[in-house]
Amino acid sequence: KEHGARRTDPRELVGPELSFITGNLARLLESGHPMLNTVSQYYFSASGKHIRPLLVMLIAQASSVATKRQGRTSMLVDSDAARVDYSLMDRTLSQTLSSDRESQHANQLIEAATRSGSGGRPYAPSVRRGLTVLPTHRRLAEITEMIHTSSLLHDDVIDRAETRRGMPAIQKRFGNKMAIFAGDFMLARASMALARLRDPEVIEIMSSVLCDLVDGEFKQLQNLEDGSAPMARPDERAFDYYLQKTYLKTGSLIAKSCRSSAILSNSTDDVVEAAYVYGRNVGIAFQLIDDLLDFTVSAAALGKPVGADLELGLATAPVLYAWQEHAELGPLVARKFSEPGDVQRAWELVHRSSGLHRTRELARQYARRAADALAIFPPSPATEALEGVTQSVLTRTR
């Protein structure tokens, strides 16, 4: 959908909020260990795209005009909640926490950041063009960025990445142990900040994202056909499996943080659901483009290695489509491009096929579904900005 002149610049609407994020993250990640501070803030020293915080803030604004007056009734998105074992939760946890000096210090920091977060200005709701962002929305945006970054800290160890955001990857600079600790620490601080939102539904939804991330990584580790006869051509199941993995590793965090943002606005159930559907589809489109850029952009432009997925043995959408046209990709996929020349051969076949074009088409379909989900929001500059972000996910080059 082209909206041309009607489109609102997202950075104009939520630019000030976004500009506080880096400073607030540094405060949320303060510890008594200078080294831990350095490592956990390393990836924030290069400017990330901040797409997740951007979406949280825009959904906050878009849903601020669709609130309901009474207490909400909306329920969790999926059946994950039913499987949560509440007996695992230690009833004395809060006592333990408050008797622990380090945690007390962290609690104070998180509380102070909530009260007076933004560059010395009071952490009050901000209203721009009649659209509201609450302090809890800002905190959710920061939590979302911390969850994302903590997963990258672990991911770069797992993937043995050379670079990220144009810098040496975390473990190249500080070693595996530091990278893992920093990732764990960031996730811990994100959990504390999440608990401090004092919203059980949001806590539950955002916690379920962590399961999804691991689930996605596990799906990625195993090919669909592992243990069964190799496929001659990728069938529908292969695409379904790939798309489910894509939702879990990337879509879930975006979808559920959008959902949580609408919940924090006290939105009606249909708006909460639409926020989720929007985030889910934008998230999948975002990862499809990521998988495309791995084949089309230079490492310098991307700030991280290209061709990395083949090197890691992964058959993403461009490969699956190429495999439909070139059966000889089958054995290469099955052995995860592990033999000399496999990566080069697969790279050539992908470029010779319509795989890249079809991947972009698929991303476009998901982006369209995302844009359609916005129909339920009352029209506002925020919904226009969200349409703009949806488009820019498709045209991004890094």
- 316 contacts ligand FPP (rule: CB under 6 A): no
Smallest distance, Å, CB 253 to ligand FPP? 8
Q: Which of 26, 167, 187, 188 is the binder for ligand FPP (CB under 6 A)? A: 187
Q: Which of 35, 112, 124, 214 is the binder for ligand FPP (CB under 6 A)? A: 214
Q: Are 263 and 200 in contact (CB under 8 A)?
A: no
Closer by beta carbon to Mg ion, 212 or else 384: 212
Closer by beta carbon to ligand FPP, 308 or else 376: 308
Q: Which of 80, 201, 204, 217 is the binder for ligand FPP (CB under 6 A)? A: 217
HSE-CB at 127 with a 13 A cutoff on CA atoms is 3
x-marked contacts with ligand FPP along 117-156 as a string, rule CB under 6 A: ------------------------------x--xx--xx-
Closer by beta carbon to Mg ion, 305 or else 388: 305
Smallest distance, Å, CB 395 to ligand FPP? 19
- 304 vs 44, 170, 179, 365, CA distance in Å? 15, 12, 17, 27
Query: CB under 8 Å to 321, separation ≥6 — which residues?
Result: 353, 354, 355, 358, 359
Q: Which does 151 bind (CB under 5 to 8 A by kind): Mg ion, ligand FPP, none?
A: ligand FPP
- 386: tokens are 């969200």
**Which 59-78 residues touch ligand FPP, going by CB under 6 A?**
none
Smallest distance, Å, CB 206 to ligand FPP? 11
Closer by beta carbon to Mg ion, 135 or else 216: 216
Smallest distance, Å, CB 336 to ligand FPP? 15
Closer by beta carbon to ligand FPP, 304 or else 358: 304
Closer by beta carbon to ligand FPP, 158 or else 301: 158
65-73, 113-121, 148-156, 358-366 -> range binding Mg ion (CB under 5 A): 148-156
Cβ-based neighbour number of residue 130 at 10 Å: 11
Closer by beta carbon to ligand FPP, 84 or else 308: 308
Q: Which of 28, 54, 109, 213 is the binder for ligand FPP (CB under 6 A)? A: 213
**Which 157-186 residues touch Mg ion, going by CB under 5 A?**
159
Closer by beta carbon to ligand FPP, 286 or else 377: 286
x-marked contacts with Mg ion along 224-263 as a string, rule CB under 5 A: ----------------------------------------
Q: Which of 10, 117, 183, 283 is the binder for ligand FPP (CB under 6 A)? A: 183
3-state secondary structure the chain: CCCHHHCCCHHHHHHHHHHHHHHHHHHHCCCCCHHHHHHHCHHHHCCCCCHHHHHHHHHHHHHCCCECCCCCCCCCCCHHHHHCCHHHCCCCHHHHHHCCHHHHHHHHHHHHHHHHCECCECCCCEEECCEEECHHHHHHHHHHHHHHHHHHHHHHHHCCCCEECCEECHHHHHCHHHHHHHHHHHHHHHHHHHHHCCCHHHHHHHHHHHHHHHHHHHHHHCCCCCCCCCCCCCCHHHHHHHHHHHHHHHHHHHHHHHHHHHHHCCECHHHHHHHHHHHHHHHHHHHHHHHHHHHHCCHHHHCCCCCHHHHCCCCCHHHHHHHHHCCCHHHHHHCCCCCCCHHHHHHHHHHHCCHHHHHHHHHHHHHHHHHHHHHHCCCCHHHHHHHHHHHHHHHCCC
Q: Are 398 and 301 in contact (CB under 8 A)?
A: yes
x-marked contacts with ligand FPP along 232-271 as a string, rule CB under 6 A: -----------------xx---------------------
Q: Which residues bind Mg ion (CB under 5 A)?
A: 155, 159
Q: Which residues bind ligand FPP (CB under 6 A)?
A: 147, 150-151, 154-155, 158-159, 161, 183, 187, 210, 213-214, 217, 249-250, 304, 308
